Structure 1
Amino acid sequence: MKRTILASASFLTLAISAHATAQTGQADIQPPARIDGLEEIVVTAQRIAESAQRTPIAIDVIKPEELTRQGVTRAEDLSRTSPALSAANGGGANTVFFVRGVGNFTVNAYSDSAVAFNYDGVYIGRPTSTSGTFYDLERVEVLKGPQGTLYGRNATGGAINVIPRRPEPGVLGAEFMASYGSYDQIIAQGALNLPIGDRGAARFSGSYAKRDGYNSDGTGDQDEYAFRGQLYADLTDTLNVRVAADTSHQGGAGGGAFYIGQYNPTFGPSGITGYSFTPSGFSPSDGLHDVRSENYLASRFVGQAGRAGERLDSYPYNDSTFWGVTTEINWETDAGTLTVQPAYREASLDFSFTNAGMRSGRTREDDQQFSVEARWAGKIGPSIDYLLGGMYFDEDIKGRNVQFSQFVLTPFQTFTTNTDSYALFGKLGVAPVEGLTLTAAGRYTWDKKRFNGLSDTYILFCGNPAPPPQDFCPTLPFMPLVDNAAQLRAFYAARGIPTSNIPLYVLPGFVPGTPFVLNAPIPINDRINNSKFTYRLAAQYDFTPHNMVYASFETGYHSGGFSFARGLSSYSPETIEAYTIGTKNRFWGNRLQVNVEGFLWKYHDQQYSQFGFDLGTPPATVFLTRNIGESTIKGVDVDVEFLATPTTLLAASVQYLPTKYDSFVFFTPNQGTPPNTGCPFTPTTQVINGTTVSVFAVDCSGKPAFNSPKWSFNLQGQQTIPLGDNKIVLQAGTRYRSEAVALPDYLPYGNARGSFVSSASVTFSTGSGWYVTGFVNNIEGNRRLSFATNNNSAAVVVGNAEEPRTYGIRVGGSF
């Protein structure tokens, strides 16, 4: 039925496209108007086309030329463009987003991202499906703060809106860009716009990006292609339809990592008292599969297996395909404008990653989503405007074989999960007196989720893993790389090693040194129903057509999800309250732009993932997500643009972000060794289903939020040198991020150090629209840490780093 609806809309458009005219309708985006001074940028963050300078919300707008200059081809590249945004590859096709310290590290299929990603007006449910969208764009909008009042799914941190260029009726034209650079990087993008009669158009665009790996083991490479096709028809003077379809493929090895160092226990009279850290001496370019790195891992002692480690003997890969189709219908009447947008998307995921220091983390998963959104926007007299709408979102995910193979632990996960989300929303704007606008917006959301799956977990165990006394099993084979649990059982049975269906750490006494494989199958069949009313209240006062102040209060909500944990198989939503005050201004004949925003966020019930006991009988150790933590996030954003001369443009964006967890206490299992954390902890006990278990209470209150540097700024300069009909454009810029927490355990060696990353380019362009550019990015060669993790099996710390210095040449043009 879903496909039939979309196919019918597509057929309708094709059948009448010969009668099409120029675009109309409130949802249409007109090209930015060029006026004397600074450029005016049109955004649709509030579901209407309006100037960014007239929009009373916190938003960063990234223009297509900036995306090209920064080499943005994937979602994680966006962190180069916005001081508030942190984006990093989470392994395979996964992307992890944080906005001003709000986000989540979980990248599995049974949790939602805290930062919404919207492509062409369609909410993308999986952070694995953000690939293949960054080409032929109108702009990218980064909205800071809780979202979901007017569109999309709810999000506590913010939203990323990726908005493609649309077909232009009456225009026959093409444009292209191709570049070649270091690491044999090739990027090619092109677009073709074709008029259809006098009343419509088609637009076809594509992208290809390929490069060798940044790291010594070949990881950190790129091999992607994407294609998008659109048809637009103006059926009548008041009715228009646009149909868009896209597909993309992600290949290559994907993101890589390096060993930051190792931690070893320190001993006192009563046993282990803590841990000492020894740096590895490796650089971010020394990938995990480099010979030296493999030998480093093989030299580590794995206490649970009672033997030295061994090489990873696996290699990551991506082989994932994505496609989707959407139809946008706009009907303009004297009473208002109706917009309806159904959409359908699929993803077929097949990837393996090792950048967490795991032997192999393989995912084979099928995702399907269908959504439809309807909006009615109108006015009542000259001083009241309103918007009413509704949305339905349905997502079905099938995890065919998801495994995270490690030396001593391998879960084989199969599952199905479904989300049905319904929402009604509206906005009312009133202008009681000249210059003053009051806005109230609200949304009621119903989320229904179902989860049915099995995590068949196998754990290698050599007697007593914690000294003293330490058991040793020097010939015990580590977990092999196999496709299913039956193969793993057969592997150990052939070697005379039994498999026991008893949860870990609750075993009776074992003969010291006798190895076992422990099997802890965890079946979960659960459902959750969440509902929430969120709202936004705002006031805006325009002193002049170019100067205004605004203030707002809004609430946010991020749905709950699931874990493979008995008795704790689901967790609750997280919420946020955001206070904002700001001003947007143009001075000196539209040559100076100064925007200032102050914000205060209160973040509640943060969803945090860590090891803990479930509520089984007896309790088992599992990796689960819980609601913990209350934090205060506050700060100031300042954005300045200055057209110093008609040919000299200067820009600066500065964010000051002091964050603090007001309450952040969680419990980890006490297995005889203290937790490796930078937070204070206290041993205690808990009673779970009549069983007393030993735990540590870890208190990270007072610590800063994750991925939230206190200081962030971007500085840009552009000088144009006219040469008759031609010109030379010189560009230079730098971005700075101060120290930030990249390792959730708050250990100092897991912090991203403060660093500058600068870029420069020289462009020669002709009056006929052709150009050639020489560029260099990350002049300093700083590879800032973007994410870090503790690999507890081998007691090593693994880090993911940003890209190194790159340079190249870019050519392009339009005709």
Structure 2
Amino acid sequence: MKPSGYVVMSLVASGVPVCAAAQDSDEGIGADGGDIVVTATRQPRPIENVPGSVLLLDEEALQREQGFTGAEDLAELLPGVEAAVANGTQVAFQIRGIGAVDHQALTPTAAAVYSDGVFLATNVQTGALLYDLARVEVLKGPQGTLYGRNASAGAVNLVSRRPDAEGANYARFGYGNFDRVDIDAAFGGRIGDGAYARLASTYVKRSPVLENVAGPPEASGETDEFGLRLSALLDRGGPRLLLRGHYEEDKGINTMPRNDALDLDKHEIESEGDGIQRSDNAFYGVSAELTVHLDDWQLFSLTAFEGYRQNYGFDFDGTAAPFGNPSLNANLSYARDFAQFSEEARLSRQFTGGSFLLGMAASLEDFSQRYTIWCGELDPRTLVGSCDYVGAPGRVGPTPASTAPASTLVTDISQERISLALFTYNRLELARRLTLTAGLRLSYEDIRGEGQGIHIFRDGVRAFNDRDGLGPAKGSNVIVTTRLSGNAALSYDLGDANAYLSVANGYKSGGFNGEVANDALNYADEGLFAAETVTTIEAGLKGRVATLRYSFAGFYSDYQDPQARIFVEFALPDGSSIVSNALSNLDAARSYGIEGQLGWTPIGGLDLDLGAVWNRAGIEQDSAIGGNAELYDGQPLPFAPEFSGNARVRYETRIGRDAALALNANANFRSRFYLDPSGLPERSQGDVLTVSAGASLALDTGIEISIWGRNLTNRDYAVSGYGFIGYNTFRSDPRTFGGSVSFAL
């Protein structure tokens, strides 16, 4: 648990040797005393030799950043990476402006997220996994070879600590403002001849952090999360088997959004509280990782199951009485079940002058969801609200099934996905200093979805949605896709530096709109969204001079058929209007820019780090979409600030003979960014500067005392937004701080 050294992203800011252990081996990595080794390329390689932009956070850097509330906090440490937080807990990573900002859980994000090598197929699985991590690796740009589908923006790898002989046992107890309680512990070590085990757990509880000016405090959310991870390693010199299992649960309350029509102070929301629902979310999984050495070859297999169930919701309209009319109130809930079985196998070989890798991947996913939206208090038996949901009447069709008012909307959808892939990734030294890296991936997907959307009248009558008389909102469809993607790069060894030029192609699959089904077109071809593709050309230079490490890159991305959530107004029977939305495809977009990272240790114990990205990401729209082409043409891509930067400083020194003092601070800046593709100023977030800091006193007895603070500037900013009645945004946490005591066991 004791921090020492500081590894940040694609550089090291410490003069001491630092390495990131390989996924299939903890031995022999970084033994040269200086290399940072990453495994995001499926084979351990020094980070300077990877022909692309790679960001790295090691175990010690992650431990120093106490006070995390979710995966979105990682973005503050990773320049050029943004995190949109939809529905209060669903995290979608955006890299260089690429990726739809979406709350739908049917499809993954454009930055593919992996946990211990297992693909997390939906955007609700990430937040509960950030404990006892060994490192986080991020690959920027499309990943068309090793990571395949749904990696059009990049890949994020969360790697937990492996069982080993050392154990690294610890217990940490923390307390912070808003009655925050943190308990973390891990125990492990040798349990037999060549056998090791590790048990890690976490518990976080916190009271509401925003102020609700119109009702109960819990409308601004509560945190109540628990996690448990067990792993066992059998390594007796022959085949190596690593078994993992995890279980996490969330019993908190989702934060309500804020409606932009309200005149509120910082960190305030307004809700009467009838949408408050305590979550009942559970995430679980098991995996078996087998490594077999066959002379000069290595066979690797990863078999896994991941699943979850979710029941949660919140006040959807973000205000107690929209425009003074309490009948415009809206609450929603999600009930989800998901299961995924996957297998990945790789055969690889290192040889003089290069390496060869051939792999296959297969997965089967089963997803189901019920989405319910209503007004006031909901009768759990009839699903009729105590007032009339404003959006229901617009969907009843030309011949309503009842003369009573339409009250509630319910949409059910189920989806099965089969994914198969063959891929190869290879390196070959063309000359003494010139290396070619190239790969291909052939992907096949079969996605089958079916669902229905109904409205429920006040007298209990149920009928299919049939907006504008287009037909009942019930149906099914099949999406079958075969894609060839890949990458190629040339890198040249300059001694203390490495220059590279690369081109990479990736895609994110299309799919179904699974929230509100308005009419028959929802499940017809017209209601689907298509796959998006990204091709990126990148040139970069990485290297080190003495204690200075640097990484610079320029990139250009051609973004075809970008997936985007489009908000469209439609008329209600009384002449007013409401905003409906769906995932759709824009024509094209471009993203280009430059980025750089520097890490320097001017004196022993002092580490300085700087990362910056300048990025222009704009939409090119010729055809009409949502009834208006001009609205989107020339607008910035969502969550793509033109400039973002990150600066860190850490100082460590001995105090006497028995203690060490460590101080660290982090500042993150993002220029104005937009929350959706409309480019409207009122749907944007202005410049954001956040600062976090911490200090720790580590005693040689194994006790460490720490204090920390996050968002010390107390900035109130939007972390995502959506149109409904006006515009609603989920808000950031205010200033938080706390302390902890940890014990090495």
Q: Shorter chain as normaliser: what TM range?
A: 0.7 to 0.9
Aligned residue number for residue 562 of structure 1: 512
Deviation at 1:765, TM superposition (A): 1.0
Aligned residue number for residue 259 of structure 2: 259
Aligned residue for 1:129, secondary structure, equals: coil
Deviation at 1:784, TM superposition (A): 2.0
Aligned residue for 2:308, secondary structure, equals: strand
C-alpha distance in 2 between matches for 1:134 and 1:598: 31
C-alpha distance in 2 between matches for 1:448 and 1:243: 30
Deviations for 1:479-508, whole angstroms, at most 9, x for unmatched residues? xxxxxx3xx4425x7xxxxx987844569x
Matched, 1:101 2:101: no
Aligned AA for 1:556?
G
Aligned residue for 1:657, secondary structure, equals: strand
Matches within 5 A, 1:450-599: 450-456=448-454, 458=455, 485=456, 488-490=457-459, 503-505=466-468, 521-544=472-495, 546-563=496-513, 564=517, 565=522, 567=524, 568-588=526-546, 591-599=547-555
Aligned AA for 1:48?
Q
Aligned residue number for residue 782 of structure 1: 715
Aligned AA for 1:801?
R
C-alpha distance in 2 between matches for 1:604 and 1:541: 31
Matched, 1:77 2:78: no
Structure 1, unaligned runs of 5 or more: 1-23, 262-279, 295-311, 459-484, 494-498, 508-519, 615-619, 669-694
Residue among 372, 375, 382 paired with 1:403: 372
Deviations for 1:190-219, whole angstroms, at most 9, x for unmatched residues? 111120223120011011111111111332
Aligned residue number for residue 804 of structure 1: 734
Matched, 1:813 2:743: yes
Matches within 5 A, 1:404-443: 404-405=373-374, 407-409=389-391, 410-443=408-441
Deviations for 1:18-38, whole angstroms, at most 9, x for unmatched residues? xxxxxx9982244874877xx
| Alpha carbons 1:73, 1:134 under 8 Å: kept | no
Matched, 1:640 2:640: no
Aligned residue number for residue 238 of structure 2: 238
Aligned residue number for residue 128 of structure 2: 132
| Alpha carbons 2:363, 2:420 under 8 Å: kept | yes
Deviations for 1:131-151, whole angstroms, at most 9, x for unmatched residues? 321111110112211124113
Deviation at 1:747, TM superposition (A): 2.1
Matched, 1:657 2:608: no
Aligned residue for 2:40, secondary structure, equals: coil
Aligned AA for 1:787?
S
Aligned AA for 1:52?
I
Matched, 1:733 2:733: no
Q: How many residues align?
A: 663
Deviations for 1:49-90, whole angstroms, at most 9, x for unmatched residues? 222232222121112333233333522222221122221321
Structure 2, unaligned runs of 5 or more: 1-20, 212-216, 319-328, 376-388, 392-407, 571-577
State the TM-score, normalized to the length of structure 2.
0.84
Aligned residue number for residue 382 of structure 2: none
Aligned residue number for residue 626 of structure 1: 584
Aligned residue number for residue 147 of structure 1: 143
Deviations for 1:331-355, whole angstroms, at most 9, x for unmatched residues? 0122310000100011111111235
Deviation at 1:176, TM superposition (A): 2.3
Aligned residue for 2:268, secondary structure, equals: coil
Structure 1 388/314 Cα, relative in aligned 2: closer, same or farther at 3 Å? same
C-alpha distance in 2 between matches for 1:718 and 1:501: 60
Structure 1 320/501 Cα, relative in aligned 2: closer, same or farther at 3 Å? closer
C-alpha distance in 2 between matches for 1:256 and 1:809: 28
Aligned residue for 1:576, secondary structure, equals: strand
Deviations for 1:575-619, whole angstroms, at most 9, x for unmatched residues? 00011111111102xx111111111111000122335699xxxxx
Structure 1 315/239 Cα, relative in aligned 2: closer, same or farther at 3 Å? same
Structure 1 376/556 Cα, relative in aligned 2: closer, same or farther at 3 Å? same
Aligned AA for 1:762?
A
Aligned AA for 1:337?
Q
Deviations for 1:728-786, whole angstroms, at most 9, x for unmatched residues? 11212211111100244322122111021112222111224321112222111012222
Aligned AA for 2:151?
A
Deviation at 1:572, TM superposition (A): 1.7
Aligned residue for 2:459, secondary structure, equals: helix
Deviation at 1:698, TM superposition (A): 4.1
| CA root-mean-square deviation | 2.5
Aligned AA for 1:136?
D
Residue among 445, 448, 465 paired with 1:447: 445
C-alpha distance in 1 between matches for 2:690 and 2:59: 20
| Alpha carbons 1:92, 1:318 under 8 Å: kept | no
C-alpha distance in 2 between matches for 1:446 and 1:647: 51
C-alpha distance in 1 between matches for 2:414 and 2:447: 11
Structure 1 115/173 Cα, relative in aligned 2: closer, same or farther at 3 Å? closer
Structure 1 811/702 Cα, relative in aligned 2: closer, same or farther at 3 Å? same
Structure 1 355/119 Cα, relative in aligned 2: closer, same or farther at 3 Å? farther
Aligned residue number for residue 164 of structure 1: 160
Matches within 5 A, 1:268-287: 280-287=262-269
Aligned AA for 1:131?
G
Aligned residue for 2:178, secondary structure, equals: helix
Matched, 1:360 2:331: yes
Structure 1 798/503 Cα, relative in aligned 2: closer, same or farther at 3 Å? same
Aligned residue for 1:56, secondary structure, equals: coil
Aligned residue for 2:602, secondary structure, equals: strand
Aligned AA for 1:453?
G
Deviation at 1:42, TM superposition (A): 2.4
| Alpha carbons 1:316, 1:354 under 8 Å: kept | no
C-alpha distance in 2 between matches for 1:31 and 1:256: 49
Matched, 1:700 2:658: no
Aligned residue number for residue 248 of structure 2: 248
Structure 1 501/221 Cα, relative in aligned 2: closer, same or farther at 3 Å? closer
| Alpha carbons 2:228, 2:247 under 8 Å: kept | yes
| Alpha carbons 1:641, 1:649 under 8 Å: kept | yes
Aligned residue number for residue 319 of structure 1: 280
| Alpha carbons 2:632, 2:677 under 8 Å: kept | no
| Alpha carbons 1:387, 1:426 under 8 Å: kept | yes
Matches within 5 A, 1:108-119: 108-119=104-115
Residue among 370, 387, 397 paired with 2:357: 387
| Alpha carbons 1:114, 1:157 under 8 Å: kept | yes
The worse-fitting range, judged by mean Cα deviation, of 336-345 and 67-76 is 67-76
Structure 1 782/502 Cα, relative in aligned 2: closer, same or farther at 3 Å? closer
Structure 1 41/25 Cα, relative in aligned 2: closer, same or farther at 3 Å? closer
Matches within 5 A, 1:701-720: 701-720=633-652
Deviation at 1:398, TM superposition (A): 2.0
Deviation at 1:420, TM superposition (A): 0.2
Aligned residue for 2:169, secondary structure, equals: strand
Structure 1 175/51 Cα, relative in aligned 2: closer, same or farther at 3 Å? farther
C-alpha distance in 1 between matches for 2:666 and 2:88: 31
Aligned residue number for residue 607 of structure 1: 563
State the TM-score, normalized to the length of structure 1.
0.77
| Alpha carbons 2:144, 2:487 under 8 Å: kept | no
Aligned AA for 1:103?
G
C-alpha distance in 1 between matches for 2:244 and 2:26: 16
Structure 1 376/32 Cα, relative in aligned 2: closer, same or farther at 3 Å? closer
Aligned residue for 1:367, secondary structure, equals: strand
C-alpha distance in 2 between matches for 1:774 and 1:609: 41
C-alpha distance in 1 between matches for 2:431 and 2:184: 49
Aligned AA for 1:550?
Y
Aligned residue number for residue 465 of structure 1: none
